[in-house]
Amino acid sequence: MNDEPIVRTRDPDGREVLFDTSARSHLRVRRPDLLQYVDVILATVSLPDHRTLDPERGRERFYRQSILDRRRWLRVVLDFNAVPGRIVTVLVQTSDPREAR
């Protein structure tokens, strides 16, 4: 399990982001069905459809609208309090993040 690779990508601002063992373990426990979509998670980071600040300092939310179901969004929460940035969690939501607030 610890020999799983750390996957790297860059966000649109050029910042390096890691999908590491911690992110993988979090998903394995909380949302194991999303582990098969690591490529989509990384694509959400590198080419998001929408971005917002997270309520927690130093974090951002990156969103990608689902191609299969346009009513669903993939949300990837990134932590930039350290370099490189890290993927903290991933989830699917039905609310459009562009309409929030």
Running along the chain, 101 residues long, what does each successive block of 10 average in pLDDT? Answer: 81 97 95 94 97 97 88 96 96 91 59
Q: Which helix (H) or strand (E) holds 30?
A: helix 21-30
Supply the pLDDT for residue 2: 59
In a domain, 42, yes or no: yes
Supply the pLDDT for residue 3: 67
In a domain, 101, yes or no: no
Residue 48 belongs to domain spanning: 7-96
In a domain, 2, yes or no: no
Helix ranges, 34-73 (H): 38-46
Query: Which residue has 């909380």 as its token pair?
Result: 30
pTM above 0.85, yes or no: yes
Indicate which CATH number applies to the domain containing 14. 3.30.2310
Angle (nearest 5°) at CA 63 between 95 and 65: 65
